[in-house]
Structure 1
Amino acid sequence: MVERRHSNLAIVAKSLDIQAAEAIREQILSGGFPPGSRLLEIPLSEELNLSRGTIRSALQQLTYEGLVVQIPYKGCAVLELSSQDAWELYTLRSALEGLAAKLAAAAMTADKAEILNSSLKQLIEATKSDRRGKVADADFALHQAIVQLSEHQRLQQQYQIVGQQIRLYIASCNTLIPDVEEIIEQHRLLIEAICSGNTAIAERIAKEHNADGEELIKHLEKVEIKNF
């Protein structure tokens, strides 16, 4: 009986860690905790009504995901994307998503096309709201669907590792696109290319779709020069 009670306690503690990480993550990705914001254990533990140990574990998970950075002698803060960060995510995303689109196109079926078109519909619905965070979530979910349909397990694993950073990157790119119709059109072209079954076109469109990253890099470079 004692072992069983300890086992249950461990499961509950783990569950709270996950819930805390999810709550903080959503605040980061929605802009509730802006880039550079300090993430202090005591205020977070009071706000979420959780122990400091649980908050500490949640912040460690978010640090692993790359959304939070640890600053010596100061604690944790929300990641501020630098131009170097944006370049690395831009080039990595192009490689991963280009391959995913190529493989998804090669294995395209009517059922898979339905999944992709459903993801596109969800993105279109998201653009009808005034919440850019919701649009970024639907945008990222669509790209996750493409990666899943690639049926390449190691590609999926690598994408998952950097997934939350890519989600933040997508949100940052989308802020530079004032017209949501442009976001819809970009993704419509991508889905059509993959559903066509033409692997070369699908890969090319996927990489071209990521070209917004170049604008983000230039924008961050200007900000860094201004703040230097």
Structure 2
Amino acid sequence: MAAQPAALLGLERTSLRQQAVTALRTAITSGALAPSSPLVETELSEMLQISRGTLREAMRQLQQEGLISAGARGRLYVRHLDAKEIRDIFAVRAALEALAVRDLAERDDRASVIPALREALEAMAHAENDLEARIESDLNFHRLLCRLTGNETLMHSWQSLEGSIRMSIMFAGLEKAVGNMDVGRHSAIVDAIETGDSDRAASTVRSHMAWAASNLVS
């Protein structure tokens, strides 16, 4: 019995850290914490009402995700992307997701994955009046494309880009970012998979990513 309080405290600390990660991630992707903004531990720990140790753990995770970068003397800042980085991110996304849709389109049982993708599209449509939900539903759709392949290496590679993808949302402002979340353009990807034409599916994804990158940096 004596060990139980320690275990419970461990869970509580983990929960606080995850809540801090979520709060900071939302603040960064919504623009409340602007790119290049310094992250001051004393201020943030007071705002979030957590210890500086828990805050450091949360910021370490966000640094691994690519949302935070280290500057001189180890000071942490909200990451700032330039146009080249945006294009590079979307080029790698295009390669990964083209591989995913090609795999899905070539499957004999491809019809079995279409309902899940259609459901993800519906979630995107229902989120159009909620910015945070819209961002998450867009990410969920692209994450699902990779997950449905069952290729763990592909999934891990895509997830390693997720922080950078989130940062790209703030590069040119929310108005342009929202333009990349158009349901119709995502529906075209599902339509291409459903035909079983893997070349068409891959081409649709590449066009989708090229347009999205150009929209952000134009």
| TM-score w.r.t. length of structure 1 | 0.84
Deviation at 1:172, TM superposition (A): 4.5
In structure 2, give the amino acid aligned to 1:57: E
* 2:140 matches 1:151: no
Deviation at 1:216, TM superposition (A): 5.0
Cα deviations by residue, 1:102-157 (Å, 9 ceiling, x for unpaired): 11222354441111001111111222x1x444322221111111111111111011
- Partner residue, 1:54: 54
- Partner residue, 2:191: 192
In 2, Cα distance between equivalents of 1:11 and 1:126? 32
Taking a change above 3 Å as real, the CA distance of residues 178 and 146 of structure 1, as seen in their structure-2 partners, is closer
In 2, Cα distance between equivalents of 1:71 and 1:35? 13
- Partner residue, 1:224: none
Contact 1:101 1:146 in 2 (8 A): yes
Gaps of 5+ in 1: 220-228
- SS of structure 1 residue aligned to 2:70: strand
- Partner residue, 1:226: none
Taking a change above 3 Å as real, the CA distance of residues 172 and 212 of structure 1, as seen in their structure-2 partners, is farther
Query: Could you tell me the percent identity over the aligned residues?
Result: 27
After the TM superposition, which residues 87-98 of structure 1 pair with which residues of structure 2 at under 5 Å, given as runs? 87-98=87-98
* 2:127 matches 1:126: yes
State the aligned residue count: 216
After the TM superposition, which residues 9-158 of structure 1 pair with which residues of structure 2 at under 5 Å, given as runs? 9-73=9-73, 75-107=75-107, 108-127=109-128, 129=129, 131-158=130-157
In 2, Cα distance between equivalents of 1:142 and 1:214? 18
- What is the RMSD of the two structures over their aligned residues, measured on CA atoms? 2.4
In structure 2, give the amino acid aligned to 1:212: W
- Partner residue, 1:223: none
| TM-score w.r.t. length of structure 2 | 0.87
Deviation at 1:75, TM superposition (A): 2.3
- SS of structure 2 residue aligned to 1:69: strand
Taking a change above 3 Å as real, the CA distance of residues 170 and 115 of structure 1, as seen in their structure-2 partners, is farther
Which is worse superposed, 154-163 or 208-217? 208-217
Deviation at 1:48, TM superposition (A): 1.4
Taking a change above 3 Å as real, the CA distance of residues 177 and 58 of structure 1, as seen in their structure-2 partners, is closer
Contact 1:119 1:138 in 2 (8 A): yes
In 2, Cα distance between equivalents of 1:179 and 1:71? 32
Contact 1:36 1:79 in 2 (8 A): yes
Gaps of 5+ in 2: none
Contact 1:137 1:167 in 2 (8 A): no
In structure 2, give the amino acid aligned to 1:210: M
In 2, Cα distance between equivalents of 1:171 and 1:192? 29
- SS of structure 1 residue aligned to 2:50: coil
